[in-house]
Amino acid sequence: MFFKKIIKSLNQYITDQSWYSQAHHPFFGEVGYYGFKDERMGYWESEIDVDGLVVSVIINSAIEELPTDIHQSFVESIINNLDSTIAAVKPLMLNTLSEWVKFDRDEDWHRLFRLSGIEVPIDADVRNDWEISFECLVDKVGHHFTCYFKNGNPEFISVDG
């Protein structure tokens, strides 16, 4: 009996640790919320169409309310001003890319990388941590380069794939 209680308690702890729910948003489409006991870890996940390409969007949110207008505005500002975001991350991205493959540094950015993901910071405030990801188009492996922002500035790049 004692062991059954322990196993039941452990099982409840593990299964109650997180939850998932789905909803529809007018801009983000079908969204899924991943909730955790530690509210700082909650987020919405969706995929949106950007010029015929699927872009993943993560929206950090401590509460399970649908993404708001400020979240939408953040994503739209990135998409509509992608060239300014690219200008901010380009030096870090090109330096990192040069560690992986040989390429022409003067090549058009859009021949080197394609937008693949946007993470919206808490409260859609650029001073909070966020990231943007690009698929590398000039390597054979299909690496993804993610630029991490802190206080509104690109800090470092990671490469996945």
Q: What angle do CA 97, 160, 108 make, to 5 degrees?
A: 35
Would you call 135 exposed, middle or buried from its count of C-beta atoms within 10 A (0-12, 13-18, 19+)? middle
Cα separation, 157 vs 78, whole angstroms: 18
Contact 144, 133 (CB under 8 A): yes
Distances (CA, A) of 91 to 21, 95, 133, 154: 39, 6, 15, 10
According to the model, what pLDDT value does residue 7 have? Answer: 45
Better pLDDT: 130 or 38: 130
Q: What is the DSSP letter of 9?
A: H
pLDDT category at 40 given cuts 50, 70, 90 is confident
pLDDT category at 37 given cuts 50, 70, 90 is confident
Would you call 33 exposed, middle or buried from its count of C-beta atoms within 10 A (0-12, 13-18, 19+)? buried
Q: Is a pLDDT exceeding 50 seen at residue 142? A: yes
Q: What is the mean pLDDT of residues 13-40?
A: 85
Instruction: Give the pTM.
Output: 0.85
- Label residue 142 left, alpha or beta by phi (over 0 means left) and psi (-120 to 50 means alpha): left
CA 102 to chain centre: 27
Would you call 62 exposed, middle or buried from its count of C-beta atoms within 10 A (0-12, 13-18, 19+)? middle
Contacts of 1 (CB under 8 A, 6+ apart): none
Domain ranges of the chain: 48-160
pLDDT category at 140 given cuts 50, 70, 90 is confident
* Mean pLDDT, all residues of the chain: 88
Q: What is the mean pLDDT of residues 74-84?
A: 96
SS3 151: coil
